[in-house]
């Protein structure tokens, strides 16, 4: 399946990346969703560079995942094992060429779904890897909110073009999953934040971007958290029914 974000763009951005456990808003949200869990086997879609896998390893999960990025099944695996985590199968493969098997207690992705116009198919393929009774967690950046969209269109149009805005609504994901999953949580999370991709900008846009960065701390304090217009992330948490084994993919 064709992504709006070319794989070579990912590969270039990962050349000098250093492995580290995920921190910040999305990691805190993920940790809160897994609080009190019993571990098991997790599977991350688009797992490089492994920050969220490390978080799951800390929580007692066996780590599994899939990604096309170089180093995913070599350097990243060595790093995860060096931390003492249990590592299962980390595949340097195309997610869409792999055959789903409903055998994981936790399946998740972060910043993956929104790169595909056929996001419903992508979501159902996620769901097909979840075993009955297991959890599905999906999160994406929220570029579709009123304020977020305006800022990205003004200052970050190249990056914006690599994201499918209609996919950034977890209420639609819940409908796509149908009756096979119980929705435990969905919505927009955390306080205002704004980041951009790499692109050439004229002087006026560079000045405007510096201005947005300057006022961002104040906006984080003043704007209520979790509002669709400006929250930086949105996500869904769902549990697969005991009688369902992934036929919807």
Summarised one tens digit per residue, pLDDT across range 81-129 is: 999 999 999 999 999 999 999 999 999 999 999 999 999 999 999 999 9
For tokens 């340097």, name the residue: 92
Residue with the larger pLDDT of the pair 56 and 249: 56
**From CA 186, how far away is CA 167, in angstroms rounded?**
14
Q: In what order do the strands lie in the sheet with 130-141?
A: 87-91, 61-66, 40-45, 104-110, 130-141, 233-240, 181-189
- Per-residue pLDDT, averaged over 143-157, amounts to 97
Pick from 3-17, 68-82, 87-101, 130-144: least confident: 3-17
Tokens standing for 91?
A: 């595949």
Residue 249 has pLDDT above 50, yes or no: no
The answer to whether 33 and 65 have CB atoms below 8 angstroms apart is no
- Average pLDDT, integer, range 58-71: 96
The alpha carbon dihedral of 206, 212, 215, 220 has a sign of negative
Q: What does the chain look like in DSSP terms, one character per residue?
A: ---SS-HHHHHHHHTTPPP----SHHHHHHHHHHTT---EEEEEES-TT-HHHHHHHHTTEEEEEE--STTTTTHHHHHHHHTT--EEEEE-S-TTTSPP---EEEEEEES-GGG-TTHHHHHHHHHTTEEEEEEEEEEEE---SHHHHHHHHHH-HHHHHTS-GGG--HHHHHHHHGGGEEEEEEEEESS-----------HHHHHHHHHHHHHHHHHHHHSPTT-TTT-SEEEEEEEE-TT--STT-
Sign of the torsion formed by the C-alpha atoms of 17, 33, 35 and 241: negative
Closest of 66, 142, 76, 143 to residue 107, by C-alpha: 66
Predicted pLDDT of residue 25: 85
Buried/exposed 129-147: b ≥16 CB within 10 Å, e otherwise: bbbeebbbbbbbbbbbbeb
Domains and CATH numbers, the chain: 7-143+161-194+232-240 (3.40.50.150)
* 39 against 131, higher pLDDT: 131
Residue 23 has pLDDT above 60, yes or no: yes
Q: Residue 228: its pLDDT value, please?
A: 97
- Per-residue pLDDT tens over the stretch 200-229: 999 999 999 999 999 999 999 999 999 999
Mean pLDDT across 3-21: 84
Asked if the model's pLDDT at residue 243 lies above 80, the reply is no
Does the pLDDT at position 247 exceed 70? no
- Tokens representing residue 183 in the block: 């929705």
* Residue 16: pLDDT band with limits 50, 70, 90: confident
């Amino acid at each position: 399946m064709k992504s709006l974000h070319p794989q070579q763009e990912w590969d270039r951005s990962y050349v000098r990346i250093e492995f580290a456990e995920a921190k910040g808003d999305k990691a805190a949200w993920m940790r809160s969703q897994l609080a009190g869990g019993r571990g098991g086997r997790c599977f991350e879609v688009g797992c490089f560079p492994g920050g969220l896998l490390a978080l799951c390893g800390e929580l007692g999960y066996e780590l599994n995942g899939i990604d096309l990025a170089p180093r995913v099944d070599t350097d990243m695996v060595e790093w995860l094992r060096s931390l003492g985590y249990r590592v299962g199968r980390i595949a340097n493969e195309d997610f869409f060429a792999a055959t789903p098997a409903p055998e994981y207690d936790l399946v998740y992705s972060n910043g993956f779904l929104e790169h595909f116009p056929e996001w419903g198919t992508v979501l159902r393929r996620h769901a097909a890897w979840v075993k009955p009774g297991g959890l599905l967690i999906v999160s994406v950046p929220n570029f579709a909110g009123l304020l977020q969209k305006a800022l990205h269109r003004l200052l970050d149009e190249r990056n914006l073009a690599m994201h499918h805005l209609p996919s950034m609504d977890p209420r639609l994901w819940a409908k796509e999953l149908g009756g096979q999953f119980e929705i435990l949580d969905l919505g927009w999370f955390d306080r205002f934040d704004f980041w951009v991709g790499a692109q050439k900008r004229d002087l006026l846009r560079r000045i405007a971007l510096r201005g947005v960065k300057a006022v961002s701390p104040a906006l984080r304090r003043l704007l209520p958290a979790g509002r669709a217009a400006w929250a930086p992330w949105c996500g869904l948490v769902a549990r697969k029914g005991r009688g369902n084994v992934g036929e919807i993919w």
